[in-house]
């Protein structure tokens, strides 16, 4: 049986999730990928987290989903919305974790630095099924724009998801599924 | 002389963009179903079943298989004995413009993601053009259009190496397998591996890309190539990268090699990787 979690309320339960465990995410997640990360980091570097402005997105205690969806066909909430490759965000992630990001959803391996920060801040990295944008489209029940609208598909959206299937890739103790697999079980 | 309207070509390109993004080719789907049968581990089987389910949902809802609806490559072979009738407007007054217009319409009408940006300013072109177009003039009075959709999760993992002729099959094989190993989970395995051996640097890369379009009849392969393909596939599937990079027997669904004569002083080898969602269409008119 897959474990169900409800976000953002269940972030305290992250420490109970083990690497390799199948999880169904329910509730709120935020999309952000390359350009949005760049802007958030620029913002933090300039003003720190206190300088809150309208173009600032408060990611503290939230989970970010690395995706850039296709446009929605009329009558649909969102188009295809699968995960993008996570390593491109590795340069930005440690700082976000330091400032309170609780989790990430993407695909592929993370850097050692990211893994260490995940462990340090008891955060989590979920792996979504790569290329399965249609599958995930069905799990998204609401979509609202949050920030950086000019970025189009790379803007930040708040998604309400239902039974969104993922696997724990790096747990709060820093156990890494890809690494375990590489070293042989 | 046979004559064809540019509008017909534009329409075909538009439709191929949409179809390729919504419906996985039956040949690739069959490879995925076989992979599902061959996998033993729980997690890798789970990944493959989700992928197969994803393909069903995409074609049922008519939405893209993957949100990365890629960059479009168009390989067009034009018979020397066919005349294309152009229109008197800038969008359709030459072949290249007509193809780009097809891509533009396909990405708009098919609700596909526009992922093409200026390389330096990163400014989006807003319509997924320009597509990369390769034109060849061939004998006859037909036009063959091959369209390939390339996402960049896998495109970023490709490599080219200029070997010296001292290198043999062993070195080539090592390079191919190493490239796949380094790519790991990033290109959405189970992958397909296109390889170009010989020619010039650019020719090798182009062959590697072309090799990923399965079903092209043009190339008769000799035994040596088929053997090298088989050996590479065997080595790759020993890497235990597996579906989604979570371990398993099926890291690659296939290795496809094309060769071309090269220079006495060189041996270019290129590897181009496709994710499991290898999206292409071919049509002859």
Interchain pair A181, B53: CB under 8 A? no
Q: At what angle do helices B95-109 and B6-22 cross, to 10 degrees?
A: 40
Contacts of B69 in chain A (CB under 8 A): 70, 80
pLDDT score recorded for residue A50 = 66
ipTM for this model: 0.91
Predicted TM-score (pTM) of the model is 0.93
What is the β-pairing status of strands B159-163 and B279-284? unpaired
Q: Which residues of B touch A76 (CB under 8 A)?
A: 61, 63
Residue of B nearest to A137 (CA): B63
Q: Which domains can be identified in chain A, with CATH numbers?
A: 3-183 (3.20.130.10)
CA distance A164 to A23: 8
Q: Which pLDDT score, from 0 to 100, does residue A153 have?
A: 87
Task: Show the DSSP H helices in chain B as ranges.
Answer: 6-22, 26-38, 42-61, 95-109, 152-155, 169-183, 201-211, 223-236
Given pLDDT bands bounded at 50, 70 and 90, which one contains residue A184? confident
Q: Do B111 and A137 touch (CB under 8 A)?
A: no
Give the pairing type, strands A124-127 and A63-65: unpaired
Q: Give the model confidence (pLDDT) of A83-105 as tens digits.
A: 999 999 999 999 999 999 999 99
pLDDT (tens digit per residue) in A120-134: 999 999 999 999 999
- The pLDDT score that the predictor gives to residue B219 is 59
CA B24 – CA A70 distance, rounded (Å): 17
pLDDT of residue B214: 78
Over range A22-35, report the average pLDDT.
96
Residue A28 near residue A144 (C-beta atoms within 8 A): no
What angle (nearest 5°) sits at the alpha carbon of residue B73, between those of residues B245 and B261?
85
Cross-chain residue pair B43–A109, CB shorter than 8 Å: no
Domains and CATH numbers, chain B: 2-20+65-150 (no CATH), 152-278 (3.30.1330)
Per-residue confidence (pLDDT) for residue A63, from 0 to 100: 97
- Nearest 5°: phi and psi at A138? -70, -20
| pLDDT confidence band for A35 (50 / 70 / 90) | very high
A85/B58 CB distance under 8 A? no
Residue A55 pLDDT > 60, yes or no?
A: no
Q: Is A37 a catalytic residue?
A: yes
Calpha distance A110→B66 (Å, rounded) = 22
pLDDT at site A49: 66
Nearest CA to B216 among B258, B159, B262? B258
pLDDT of residue B3: 96
Which residues of chain B register pLDDT less than 70?
215-220
CA B71 vs CA A6, A134, B65, B105: distances in Å: 36, 19, 15, 14
């Amino acid at each position: 049986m897959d474990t169900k979690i409800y976000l953002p309320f269940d972030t305290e339960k992250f420490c109970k999730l083990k690497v390799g465990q199948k999880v169904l995410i329910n509730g709120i997640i935020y999309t952000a990928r390359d350009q949005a990360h760049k802007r958030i980091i620029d913002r933090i570097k300039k003003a720190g987290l206190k300088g809150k402005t309208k173009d600032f997105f408060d990611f503290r205690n939230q989970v970010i989903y690395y995706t850039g969806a296709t446009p929605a066909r009329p009558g649909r909430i969102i188009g295809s919305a699968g995960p993008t490759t996570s390593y491109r965000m590795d340069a930005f992630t440690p700082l976000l974790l330091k400032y309170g990001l609780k989790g990430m959803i993407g695909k592929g391996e993370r850097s050692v630095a990211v893994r260490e920060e995940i462990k340090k801040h008891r955060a989590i990295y979920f792996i979504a099924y790569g290329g399965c944008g249609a599958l995930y489209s069905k799990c998204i029940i609401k979509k609202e724009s949050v920030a950086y609208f000019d970025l189009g598909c790379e803007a930040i959206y708040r998604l309400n998801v239902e039974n969104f299937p993922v696997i724990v890739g790096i747990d709060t103790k820093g156990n890494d599924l890809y690494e375990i697999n590489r070293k042989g079980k | 002389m046979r004559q064809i309207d540019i509008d017909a070509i534009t329409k075909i390109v538009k439709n191929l963009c949409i179809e390729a993004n919504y419906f996985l080719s039956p040949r690739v789907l069959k490879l995925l179903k076989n992979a599902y049968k061959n996998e033993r581990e729980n997690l890798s089987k789970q990944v493959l079943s989700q992928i197969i389910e994803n393909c069903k949902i995409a074609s049922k809802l008519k939405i893209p298989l993957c949100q990365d609806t890629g960059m479009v490559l168009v390989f067009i072979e034009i018979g020397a004995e066919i005349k294309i009738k152009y229109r008197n407007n800038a969008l359709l007054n030459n072949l290249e413009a007509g193809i780009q217009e097809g891509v533009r319409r396909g990405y708009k009408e098919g609700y596909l993601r526009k992922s093409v940006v200026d390389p330096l300013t990163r400014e989006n072109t807003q319509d997924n053009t320009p597509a990369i177009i390769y034109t060849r003039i061939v004998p006859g009075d037909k036009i063959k259009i091959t369209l390939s959709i390339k996402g960049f999760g896998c495109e970023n993992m490709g490599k080219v190496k200029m070997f010296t002729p001292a290198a043999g099959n062993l070195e080539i094989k090592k390079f191919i397998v190493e490239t796949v190993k380094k790519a790991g989970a990033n290109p959405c395995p189970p992958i397909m591996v296109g390889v170009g051996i010989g020619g010039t640097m650019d020719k090798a890369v182009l062959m590697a890309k072309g090799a990923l379009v399965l079903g092209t009849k043009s190339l008769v392969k000799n035994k040596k190539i088929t053997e090298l393909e088989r050996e590479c596939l065997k080595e790759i599937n020993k890497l235990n990268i597996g579906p989604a990079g979570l371990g398993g027997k099926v890291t690659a669904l296939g290795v496809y090699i094309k060769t071309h004569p090269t220079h006495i002083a060189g041996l270019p080898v290129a590897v181009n990787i496709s994710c499991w969602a290898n999206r292409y269409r071919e049509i002859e008119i």
